[in-house]
Amino acid sequence: MTGHAGGVAARPPKPGRSLVLPVGTFLFLVLTWASISEEFGIGLVSRLSTSVPIFLARGPETLAALLRPNWGFLPQTVEPMLETFRMAVIASVIGCGVALPVAFLASRVTAPNLAIFLADRGILSVVRAIPDFLYALVFVFAVGIGPLPGIAALILFNIGVVAKLQSETVDGVDVGPIEAARASGAGRLQTIRWAVLPQVLPHYVAYSLYTFELNIRASTVLGIVGAGGIGRLLFREYKFFNWSNVSVIVVELFLFVFVIELVSIILRRRLV
């Protein structure tokens, strides 16, 4: 290659090396080491010297009880397990149903204007920032013990998760059908219905199925604070050290979640 004066063009200068990666890596290692030192270095020996003898004294007996499930307790778990299932279904239907229009408002492609886009994104960030466990505590305090606070907590959890995932999917749609719909005179809602929704609907169904799986697991934990379901029974048996009954509930939950997850995976593979 020749320059303007007929000579060989000078090689362009090599770009300077960015310090972002090495500095970020160094800070990450320092914070990790500080956290490990704080958590495990100080008083680790004293904590081990206290906890290990307790585990050796109680651990074998507890493990032996867990390995001997009391199958006679199984009939008492049927109704709480069905309640957990109903909670997950209701929360999934309502939460995912609300999350779909919310997701369209949280996408740059389908939001009516920048103000609504920013407000929707901000509200979703707040909803996702609060753990579902804390939602359950608030609703239990507000309406009392039972499945209702658990359902309300799961609905908010579902809206935050599904709306976030769905809005990112909407951001990545093919704009060709959208431009064609607008060129033909379609309004905003018509464009979303005929040009955007068909592209994102399989992903939306997949996200909803995945959220339903999460609801089964989450409702078990929420039952600990009195939000209904099998979790409340599990916590009761745990408080009374009925480890054989706890073992039955754990096995039942494992099989229940495994079957639901297996069916959900098969459906998602067919849809996406």
The per-residue pLDDT for 25 is 87
Distance CA 141, CA 226 (A): 10
Residue pLDDT, tens place only, 60-99: 877 887 888 899 999 999 999 999 999 999 999 999 999 9
Q: Which CATH class is domain 73-271?
A: mainly alpha
pLDDT of residue 249: 92
pLDDT score of 175 more than 80: yes
pLDDT exceeds cutoff 90 at 155: yes
What is the pLDDT, as a whole number, of residue 47?
65
Q: What angle do CA 126, 130, 133 make, to 5 degrees?
A: 155
State yes or no: pLDDT of 212 exceeds 80. Answer: yes
Mean pLDDT value across residues 237-266: 88
Could you tell me the residue ranges of all domains in the chain? 21-65, 73-271
CB 167 within 8 A of CB 103: yes
In this predicted structure, the answer to whether residue 40 has a pLDDT above a threshold of 80 is no
pLDDT at 93: 94
* pLDDT, mean over the chain: 84
pLDDT of residue 37: 65
Q: Report, as an integer, the average pLDDT of 34-58.
A: 64
Rounded to an integer, what is the distance from CA 242 to the centroid of its chain? 31
* Chain-centre distance for alpha carbon 58: 35
* CA 76 – CA 249 distance, rounded (Å): 10
Instruction: Return the higher-pLDDT residue of 48 and 118.
Output: 118
* Residue-wise pLDDT tens digits, 94-144: 999 999 999 999 999 999 899 999 999 999 999 999 888 888 888 888 888
CB atoms within 10 A of CB 219: 28
For the entire predicted model, the pTM comes to 0.76
pLDDT bin (cut points 50, 70, 90) of residue 22 is: confident
DSSP letter at 7 equals S
If one counts every other C-beta atom within 10 angstroms of the C-beta of residue 235, the result is 17
Position 127 scores a pLDDT of: 92
